[in-house]
Structure 1
Amino acid sequence: MTGAPLRGVNSITSFTPTFSRRSASIPNDQGTKAIYTINKQTPGSHVNVTETRILDLKTNTSALFSNDPRDREAHWLGVGDLVIWLKEVDQGATEFWIGDADDVVKDYVDLKTLAQPASRHCAGKIDAKASYLKLRSLQDEHEDIAIAVSCPATSNGVLYNPKTNASYAGDIYNAIWYTTLRKKITHKSILGTKYIVSPTKFVNALRGTDLESPLTGPTDYDISTSGIVFLARASREDLRGANAYYIPLKTFTELSKPRPQIVHVNGLEGGSSNPVFSPNGNSVAFLKRQHPTDPGDRNRVIVINNIRHFRIHMAINEMPTQESENKWHLSPYSVAWSENGRELYVVAVEEGIRRLYKIPATLSSIRTAPEPITSNSTTPADVRHLRMVFSAPMDTSALQCSSG
């Protein structure tokens, strides 16, 4: 038996949902714009579209900045509204591109030719796949900007690229590579001023140390005007987990590279995680466990002040203090500094709910267990930098219709 057609319906309309996944929105220093990426996927289709967009925080409008599928990890450069991002290019290399956030709408990439707008420029290149881009203004006479990325390296500490090192059969590990961006004045540039990678090229922070760094995400290392802090272990077989290491740097172009110093905390022999510099670069906070092999052990918050004067075995406060040890039973898994560097924000799970806590950066002043400042599970899992906690507008084309 065939059912009668529905009256008033001339065609059958099928719905093809498009799912959008959006990153956190990172605002600029002025708090006027934010940058974020959005990935659009259609079930049953192999086409994924990734866009970098600029959100105007005053008008709450979003504009396309780039739809080049090779672009990744867009960040504010820290100079005006300039944006820096990674671009995957031929032979497995990575370029560093810089453009102005005001170049939206008219200046996104031509997908047919993959040509870049004339107002954007390539600041440099590293001959490997780079990730986890970090930037920090050094506030020196040259207005240099420290730049660091994670790239694979061979056992002798040189860059590894499978497309150009196909014959290499040794061990491969992740390493932190750093240098600076320097301002270059040129009248030929539409921008007038360009930033380019320093001629000294990138330096492997781990070369000659025998350290193995996990570098599984951007929270595994940080840079500042005081240098680099990162996670590493003595060998891949080390079951105690990674330790925090510190490399003192001033210019990020030192001719003699300082050796990494292990940040040892007396009485705490477990793994470390989430190292992050304070806004002024003078202090470092990170998480550390007491027992090296107990999976049920909890993280403690560690703060090292005057990091430039750090020496192994120096006295370090831990949180919570002796008075609150029995009350603070949670294990923080993320730590971030407040903008003024006076407080720390940590995220911990209590009874299945993620909660955000604020504690003084002077850990010795804590006398009772910290109280949560959020009670619901709406806290983002990573609040490494609180200015990242923004919501970009929902894509109005989340549902698309097609007639058939």
Structure 2
Amino acid sequence: MTVRAHKFTPEVLLSAPRRSAASPNSTGTLALYTESVYSFQSHSKTSEICVLDTSNGQSICLSSDLNASEPTWLGDKDLVLWLKGGDKGVTNLILGDASSPHSKPETIATFNGGVSNIKVKSLDDTTIAFVVSGLCTPDGQLYNSETAEKPRSTAKVYSKLFVRQWDAYVTENKNTLWYSTLNKSSGKWTLNSTGLINALGGHPVKLESPVPPFGGTGDFDISAFGIAFVAKDPKLDPANYTKTDLYYIPTRTFAETKPSSAQIIKTGNLRGYSQSPTFAPNGKSLAFTRMKSDQYESDKPRLLLVPDVEDLSNVQEFFMTDDGEGGWDLRPECIVWSADGETLYVTAEENGRGKLFSLPSSPRHASKLPTALTSRGTVSDAKYLADGRFKGNLFISSSSLVDNSTYTILDPARPAEVTSISSTSKGGRMFGLHQDQVDEFWYTGAGDYKVHAWVVKPSDFDKAKKYPLAYLIHGGPQGAWNEGWSTRWNPAIFAEQGYIVVTPNPTGSTGYGMALQNGIQNQWGGRPYEDLVKGFEYVESNLPYVDTSRAVALGASYGGFMVNWIQGHPLGRKFKALVTHDGVFSTLNQYSSEELFFPHHDFGGTLWDNRENYEKWDPAAHVKNWATPHLIIHNELDYRLPISEGLAPFNVLQTKGIPSKFLTFPDENHWVLKPENSLVWHREVIDWINHYSGITEQGSLQQGVSNLKI
């Protein structure tokens, strides 16, 4: 940002630079990242591929092409590969030079279709293994949406699940991995003449990887000896089962025109999601995570190791216990190896923070629980630096509640001595935010356990004044408010309007142990609701600067369910206004969703076998009690919770004569992602709660907004 913000507004949030996690070269002297900025003046987006000089924090631009993405280092030199979308649905592979940023990038290959998720691995000085993902047609070819024959009818016929997932109807074209090599000859890099080869084409049963709708580079990894990837079990119905298996494809040259068949890695009683396959530097050892239940998307991931991919039967579990529950009560996610292969670094949520932990890379040596190396913020990515000035250190990408992007270097031997490299918002100062705005508290929940909550205050907070409460309820329900940045639900946006924002993490929240998380099963409107009531009472009794008589409550997804539930129960009368974004109106409608394993787990069975549990926590059963002014937001491309779940509560509110408003975006899914739409979302939400809480705004939030109102 070039101008310091005097107030953190939705415009500032949405037009602030958005940086990806950074990828350093092996010495840590340079780091690649992408940065995009949306301008509400020109109503356009800019996007750059940048190189950060870690010695001075300065960046240079390698590409400002909107169609360029996914930069990655080519070996240990200063050469950079990236992908660029082209005309007629093709994807170009581009080679640039970080040491000569003004030189013209070179197109070294063109693929006849859309590809993404690029990964490379150096095989020798002149050969680089190259893997991307892209849609595959039923006959095994790369799919090109621009040149594919268009059907004459729009009819879609299905005889099995899924019909649609997240925000799209499922088609016959499936994700697959494609491999080849880049070869250096006479100083020039070119793609192997074999072109892209379907890595999964050698398996007798059609497998799909990355796993939709959110699978990416975390679903596969490559070494000099092969490719490891996760894929749904093709024998199971994907709407009712969460099982993804880990597979390994051995390769000799990455140029074989007929790939070897994928070999499954069996894990005994662990039959749920497999995730984050990550090869050790030697290319032989493989770490990954796997859940136990095959019908629970939020089960605890267990950290596992294949010591040698030559023997896939030898799979070892870290912190294994006789009762099968596992000795580490957190949820490992991202995995990073040290250069010598002796240490693993993993990310996991703990008490409202996304921490980085270290542990020995062998389960036999991991006798103690992992050690946390970070204590603040949320780590989104970490890379090990194998050489140079920072040898043995970790390059970390992270964020906080007041800073949207920070790059630091951490020495695992001295984790308290963090070297700051770059911060988009200068620690929040460019947004007018500061760390003193952030506080937290713990209180006793509905049972014999503690509940954690974050507090975010206005930047000009005066403890002698009283501020209305904005009570934010997270989705999931297996999720949490963490000390990290968000462009969709950012607590500081509400704080800067003049609220004290409290974000509790009640029963169902992740990062506080599996007992609290799993306690939500068959308890959707039970323990979590009581936890929220007790959190409200704690605020009333212990935060004298909060005016709870002017409180508002907001929530999305499960948080939207809870706001609808609160509306029909006594806590609903404590709020001046409510906001539900893409929430559940009736639990009896859960079969209109796509992922049926979700209600089957959380409500303890099918609708026909356990209807009483679905009915027990149905917000629609309590509409007689609804009375509080209520804004309903629901999007048409939300196939997880179809739009009828938003129209129905709005119809109830209007019929009962309760002040209410309905906002919808025909082109958005469960989230609101487009900047212009997001700005309208923020303005409508803020206008709504400010009106009923009595906050007087400075200036009109509606200025410059063009949208349809009836």
**TM-score, length basis structure 2:** 0.48
Change (3 A) 1:326 1:218: closer
Pairing 1:229–2:228 present: yes
The Cα RMSD (Å) is 2.5
Pairing 1:123–2:108 present: yes
Contact 1:19–1:42 at 8 Å: present in 2 too? no
- Once the 2 structures are TM-superposed, how far is the Cα of residue 395 of structure 1 from its aligned partner? 7.6
Q: Which residue of 2 aligns with 1:114?
A: none
- Once the 2 structures are TM-superposed, how far is the Cα of residue 45 of structure 1 from its aligned partner? 4.3
Contact 1:321–1:367 at 8 Å: present in 2 too? no
Q: Which residue of 2 aligns with 1:253?
A: 255
Change (3 A) 1:266 1:327: closer
Q: Which residue of 1 aligns with 2:190?
A: 196
Contact 1:150–1:176 at 8 Å: present in 2 too? yes
Change (3 A) 1:303 1:384: farther
Which of 270, 276, 291 is equivalent to 1:268? 270
Q: Which structure shows the bigger proportion of residues in strand conformation?
A: 1
Higher relative contact order (CA 8 A, sep 6+): 1
Contact 1:62–1:393 at 8 Å: present in 2 too? no
Instruction: Determine the C-alpha separation between the residues in 2 that align with 1:318 and 1:28.
Output: 31
Change (3 A) 1:40 1:218: same
Instruction: Determine the C-alpha separation between the residues in 2 that align with 1:132 and 1:240.
Output: 23
After TM superposition, the structure 1 = structure 2 runs for residues 332-343 of structure 1, keeping only pairs within 5 Å, are 332-343=332-343
- Once the 2 structures are TM-superposed, how far is the Cα of residue 388 of structure 1 from its aligned partner? 5.2
- Once the 2 structures are TM-superposed, how far is the Cα of residue 58 of structure 1 from its aligned partner? 2.4
- Once the 2 structures are TM-superposed, how far is the Cα of residue 346 of structure 1 from its aligned partner? 1.4
SS at 1:200's partner residue?
coil
Contact 1:25–1:392 at 8 Å: present in 2 too? no
Q: Which residue of 2 aligns with 1:176?
A: 177
Change (3 A) 1:84 1:315: closer
Contact 2:62–2:96 at 8 Å: present in 1 too? no
Which of 424, 430, 442 is equivalent to 1:394? 424
Q: Which residue of 1 aligns with 2:71?
A: 74
SS at 1:156's partner residue?
coil
After TM superposition, the structure 1 = structure 2 runs for residues 78-93 of structure 1, keeping only pairs within 5 Å, are 78-93=75-90
Change (3 A) 1:250 1:318: same
For residue 54 of structure 1, what is the amino acid of its counterpart?
V
Contact 1:157–1:208 at 8 Å: present in 2 too? no
- Once the 2 structures are TM-superposed, how far is the Cα of residue 205 of structure 1 from its aligned partner? 1.1
SS at 1:363's partner residue?
coil
Q: Which residue of 1 aligns with 2:207?
A: 211
Contact 1:212–1:234 at 8 Å: present in 2 too? no
After TM superposition, the structure 1 = structure 2 runs for residues 298-313 of structure 1, keeping only pairs within 5 Å, are 298-307=300-309, 309-311=310-312
For residue 196 of structure 1, what is the amino acid of its counterpart?
T
For residue 183 of structure 2, what is the amino acid of its counterpart?
R
SS at 1:383's partner residue?
strand
Contact 2:113–2:143 at 8 Å: present in 1 too? yes
After TM superposition, the structure 1 = structure 2 runs for residues 365-380 of structure 1, keeping only pairs within 5 Å, are 365-376=365-376, 378-380=377-379
SS at 2:364's partner residue?
helix
Report sequence identity in percent.
Answer: 33
Report the count of equivalent residues.
Answer: 359
- Once the 2 structures are TM-superposed, how far is the Cα of residue 132 of structure 1 from its aligned partner? 0.5
Q: Which structure shows the bigger proportion of residues in helix conformation?
A: 2
Contact 2:355–2:379 at 8 Å: present in 1 too? no
For residue 50 of structure 2, what is the amino acid of its counterpart?
R
- Once the 2 structures are TM-superposed, how far is the Cα of residue 79 of structure 1 from its aligned partner? 4.3
- Once the 2 structures are TM-superposed, how far is the Cα of residue 374 of structure 1 from its aligned partner? 2.1
Unaligned 5+ runs, structure 1: 1-14, 108-116, 186-192, 400-404
Larger radius of gyration: 2
Contact 1:150–1:175 at 8 Å: present in 2 too? yes
Instruction: Determine the C-alpha separation between the residues in 2 that align with 1:343 and 1:65.
Output: 34
Instruction: Determine the C-alpha separation between the residues in 2 that align with 1:70 and 1:227.
Output: 30
Instruction: Determine the C-alpha separation between the residues in 2 that align with 1:249 and 1:278.
Output: 17
- Once the 2 structures are TM-superposed, how far is the Cα of residue 352 of structure 1 from its aligned partner? 2.4
Structure 1, residues 254-304: CA drift from partner, whole Å, max 9, x if none?
A: 243110011111221122011111122111110001121234531100111
- Once the 2 structures are TM-superposed, how far is the Cα of residue 363 of structure 1 from its aligned partner? 1.1
